[in-house]
Amino acid sequence: MNSIIASNELSKRHEKIWHKLSPVWQGNKEIIKQGLPHCHLSPAWQMLILGDGSPTRHLQLITGERTEVDLIDMSCIGMNSDNTHQLIQLLPGPRSRRQVWLCTASGQRLAYATSWWESNHVNEHLQNRNIPIWDSLTGKRMELYREILEIHYGKSAYLESAFGQKRNLWGRYYLFWHQGKPLTLIYEVFSNYLTKYIGSMVL
């Protein structure tokens, strides 16, 4: 089934929570720095998951289509840690959570992303919430540093259904830093549909 129409009703029921993998394996910053053996993750997939470049730009280059955002949730969570990475505590409260699908212009879901922001300043950075974060921030010529914190390989019934593929998925946490201060915490999960373009995850 095409993932464009895979789970509209499921999305409606789940829009007020966010989704992360139940890891069968996870890697810390040391593993991220040195990379994985190619027998565990191919070079092309390592560049996507471990690289510190813009995923929306990478997805556009991979597919040849413009990367678009399907905004599914924007919620105020106050001082809640939201069952996310402990470094959310670096973001002053109250906080807001944004959830999106990253899709091709033709509607194919390529990735899922959740981000957390300081509520008092989120409107400054996301003036248009329907475009990729990278476009919003670099459009203002902001200097940014992407610090990848953890990588996950695991399961999520919801995300597997939404992507239309019953297979384990890769995800990652990272922080955006600006002028020495944390700007946003982001969690991303990539669809196995990308194997169509960059090949198998393992050699």
pLDDT in tens, 89-147: 999 999 999 999 999 999 999 999 999 999 887 777 665 555 666 565 655 666 778 99
- At 155 the pLDDT is 97
Distance CA 98, CA 129 (A): 9
Provide the whole-model pTM: 0.86
pLDDT in tens, 73-84: 999 999 999 999
- With cut-offs at 50, 70 and 90, classify the pLDDT of residue 34: very high
By percentage, how much of the chain surpasses pLDDT 90? 70
Single-letter code of the amino acid located at 112: Y
Distance CA 203, CA 187 (A): 26
Q: Mean pLDDT lowest for which of 112-116, 158-162, 171-175, 176-180?
A: 176-180
DSSP state, 172? Answer: E
Distance CA 167, CA 91 (A): 33
Distance CA 9, CA 43 (A): 36
- At 144 the pLDDT is 78
Please give the CATH architecture assigned to the domain spanning 21-103+116-198: 3-Layer(aba) Sandwich (3.40)
Tell me: pLDDT of 149 over 80: yes
Radius of gyration of the chain (CA): 16
What is the total residue count of the chain?
Answer: 203
Domain boundaries, the chain: 21-103+116-198
- With cut-offs at 50, 70 and 90, classify the pLDDT of residue 9: very low
The helix (H) or strand (E) run that includes residue 113 is strand 109-118
